Amino acid sequence: MSEGIITLTSSNFEAEIAQGQILIDFWAPWCGPCRMQGKILDELVPQLPAGARIGKINVDAEAALAARFNVRSIPTLVLMKDGKPAQQMVGVQTAAMLLDILKKSAG
């Protein structure tokens, strides 16, 4: 996992999502598509728009957070803006698409 990616847990979740944009990746270490998505997110970090961040939630360790967002399959990505969900995507997403969503949502 890249240095620019935050590990989110129930203890730091509210503080991390409260302000700005954060793209949350719900994943598990045993999930092949999640590992693919993780590599894409690592590549995305240096291209993030100002103020945007990426966080990861391990669904095995944080089942309550996964349930809160109705995560039924992984990877699931949720874009949070100022503490509220702005968009949710299921399945592996491309870096270009994620960057476009983050740029459009930044305004």
Contact 5, 45 (CB under 8 A): yes
Q: Is the dihedral angle over the CA atoms 32, 96, 53, 21 positive or is it negative?
A: negative
Contact 102, 23 (CB under 8 A): yes
Catalytic residue, chosen from 31, 86, 89, 106, is 31
From CA 95, how far away is CA 107, in angstroms rounded?
A: 19
Contact 55, 47 (CB under 8 A): no
Catalytic residue, chosen from 34, 74, 77, 80, is 34
Question: Known catalytic residue: 31?
Answer: yes
- Which residue, chain included where needed, has tokens 């360790």? 61
Active site residues: 31, 34
